Amino acid sequence: MSADFHRELGLIIGASRVLVAADDVAPFCTDWRGRYSGNALCVALPGSTEEVAAVVRACVAAGVAVVPQGGNTGLCGGATPTGGEVVVSLRRMNRIRAVDADNNSITVEAGCTLHAVQEAAREADRLFPLSLAAEGSATIGGNLSTNAGGVQVLRYGNARELTLGLEVVLADGRIWNGLRALRKDNTGYDLKHLFIGAEGTLGLITAATLKLFPRPRTHATAWVAVPDPASAVRLLGRLRDAAGDNVTAFEIVGRPALELVLRHIPNARDPLLGKPAWQVLIELGGSSDMGGDLSATLERALEAAAEDGIVNDAVLATSEAQTAALWALRENVSEAQKIEGISIKHDIAVPVSCIAEFIARADAALRAAFPEVRIVCFGHIGDGNLHYNQSRSDAQSNDEFIAQTGAVNRIVHDLVHGLGGSISAEHGLGQLKREEVLRYKSQTEMDLMRAVKQALDPRGLMNPGKLLSKVGAGALHA
């Protein structure tokens, strides 16, 4: 059946766009972290919405499952086949279809990289604010399917909040054109939200209409040592008092995270002396007539905070090169961790007011259970979202430690749940947290999710084994 099926796909998209040789298929079958790998029947590279729809119809007719894939930078194994599926890569669908500067909107195909969309917005003198370290490879389809967050959620919202409309190939191969560019549309259920954050389990996003914003003309950036996470949260409150919506990013980096960057990333340098335990990267952005004001506002707020003991030390960027160097320290943490070796990752969210309590209690509980644990904590503290990762420092002890993933997860996730938080703030569930989430969502919520899946993908061919557990219809309550 394989050869016939490959030929059939070849008739739809061209034989050279159906990858079957093991070496060609392999890069699509392992995730960015190298944590998940699987086998695919083949990789299909369609170039248009109609081709995607025809590929899906062929898969349905053959009873073959589909794994949508964009840049393959996801961190939960959501884009990795588990065995025998067709990986549908959207990379060739990379056209900017339209920019409407007056409407502050842009319509793009799903395979556009996030960076390409940012650049298209810039050319129209607008801002597309979604921003994350993998933006050179991650695609809009993947960003929307994981409801990506990144470093400017604080000011502009996550991928869901940036979306006006979608075009989707449904699980039966029909095309839904929901590419509306409206800020107001109360004509029934808002279907786009079903596909955003669905990790490809309900349909294939082929295009999106996204919100644009005025481009900030000026910004002020600082790298600031704070005594502890509670001080960071207080500093955020003060900055918002002083600068309101002009606070566009507020990221925390713990010392072990910074040490990994300094060790593994060429030219990385600690901007502050004294090896502070906690630092925050702050960015303020605003319109052209705020130029000097923003730097002055930031400086004044930091000086006042220092007098009150909330800030220990700070450096303000005085050039674009310095700004880029400070951002590189934050944005290279994931890369540095990858080079260092495998770790147990938690992408958690709690109310911002609970961040300090979470870190203190989780650190204490982990150190009590695993005295040699290394805790790498960093992330979008302004959104209540931390990347809170654990490992051991030498390879042998780390292997033993990784074997304890279940026990580590229990400590971290139970605490998160107890504080009213989420075990996946921005990376999704994929394969990584598909079972874990059953502990924390109610039976009712899981039933609703399964009902949506059943209604939109009754044959279960859209990215099976991701997001929803195959076993059990209900939740396992802790």
Separation between Cα atoms, residue 222 and residue 210, nearest integer Å: 30
Applying CB under 6 A, does 343 fall inside the site for ligand FAD?
no
What the block records as the tokens of 220 is 């002020």
Applying CB under 6 A, does 75 fall inside the site for ligand FAD?
yes
Applying CB under 6 A, does 156 fall inside the site for ligand FAD?
no
Applying CB under 6 A, does 173 fall inside the site for ligand FAD?
no
Of 90 and 352, which CB lies nearer to ligand FAD in the complex structure? 90
Applying CB under 6 A, does 200 fall inside the site for ligand FAD?
yes
Q: Are 18 and 41 in contact (CB under 8 A)?
A: no
Applying CB under 6 A, does 150 fall inside the site for ligand FAD?
yes
Applying CB under 6 A, does 209 fall inside the site for ligand FAD?
no
Q: Which stretch binds ligand FAD (CB under 6 A): 18-26, 135-143, 179-187, 302-310?
A: 135-143
Separation between Cα atoms, residue 179 and residue 165, nearest integer Å: 4
**Residue 116, CB-side half-sphere exposure with 13 Å CA sphere:** 19
Applying CB under 6 A, does 349 fall inside the site for ligand FAD?
no
Applying CB under 6 A, does 422 fall inside the site for ligand FAD?
no
What the block records as the tokens of 474 is 């209900």
In angstroms, the Cα distances linking 346 to 272, 405, 423, 457, 461 are 28, 11, 7, 29, 29
Of 56 and 305, which CB lies nearer to ligand FAD in the complex structure? 56
Of 293 and 335, which CB lies nearer to ligand FAD in the complex structure? 335
Q: Which stretch binds ligand FAD (CB under 6 A): 69-77, 98-106, 228-236, 310-318?
A: 69-77
212-214-215-218 Cα dihedral, nearest 10 degrees: -150
Nearest-approach distance from CB 389 to ligand FAD, in angstroms: 13
Query: Using CB under 6 A, which residues numbered 98 to 127 contact ligand FAD?
Result: 110
x/- site string to ligand FAD, residues 39 to 68, per CB under 6 A?
Answer: ----------------------------xx
Selected from 112, 205, 220, 261, the binder of ligand FAD by CB under 6 A is: 205
Nearest-approach distance from CB 41 to ligand FAD, in angstroms: 16
Amino acid (one-letter) located at 200: G
Query: Using CB under 6 A, which residues numbered 297 to 336 contact ligand FAD?
Result: 334-335
Applying CB under 6 A, does 384 fall inside the site for ligand FAD?
no
What lies within 8 Å, CB to CB, of 325 at 6+ separation is: 269, 271, 317
Q: Which stretch binds ligand FAD (CB under 6 A): 72-80, 215-223, 395-403, 409-417?
A: 72-80
Selected from 51, 85, 199, 251, the binder of ligand FAD by CB under 6 A is: 199
Q: Which of 363, 424, 358 is closest to 148 using CA atoms?
A: 424
Applying CB under 6 A, does 129 fall inside the site for ligand FAD?
no
Size of the site for ligand FAD (CB under 6 A): 38
Of 159 and 310, which CB lies nearer to ligand FAD in the complex structure? 159
Interface residue list for ligand FAD (CB under 6 A): 32, 67-75, 78-79, 90, 110, 132-134, 138-139, 141-143, 145-146, 148-150, 199-200, 204-205, 334-335, 426-427, 430, 463, 466
